[in-house]
Amino acid sequence: IQQIDSYSSDMREQAIECLGSSVGAKAVPILSKYLSDTDKKVRMSVVEAMATLHDRTATTALEKAFNTEKDARVLFLLIHSLRADPKPYSLDFFRKVLRENPNPTLRREAIGGLAAINNNEARNTLNQALKTEKDQTVIKSINYMLSWMRIHRR
């Protein structure tokens, strides 16, 4: 953990993994600062470490990082991690990605997050998106997830 400020990105990456697994949610303020690290692998390690914490402050930090991240792989990992453990308070995040992000792959991940939340607001968001979406792969994903949501209604 002492190597978290190392000049070596490999050392920072290892320190982040240790910090996330040993300290838990208390590590969020420290880990958050590395979401803007210059090294992509370090940022990806932070995302993975924070995603395992199942903590609202970690989720909020990951959502904020999505807005500033430029690397496609890190963006995908960010939204995929949030989708893996979706919380109702992330509904606005998934909705914004679905409505505003130009990348169909990221929009499909947002659809998965909305489906996993599976409440009326999430269903309404997906039904609204069907009215304006142009990408056929995204439309197919929306339809599939709406069907899944009907079967697994909460």
pLDDT per position as a tens digit, 30-73: 999 999 999 999 999 999 999 988 889 999 999 999 999 999 99
Closest of 67, 72, 94 to residue 83, by C-alpha:
94
Please give the pLDDT value at position 48.
93
What is the C-alpha separation between 121 and 154, in angstroms, rounded? 12
Query: Does pLDDT of 154 surpass 90?
Result: no
For residues 69 and 39, the answer to whether their CB atoms sit within 8 Å is: no
The pLDDT value recorded for residue 1 is 56
Query: For residue 124, what are the contacts with CB-CB under 8 A and spacing of at least 6?
Result: none
Q: Which residues contact 92 (CB under 8 A, 6 or more apart)?
A: none
How much is the pTM?
Answer: 0.87
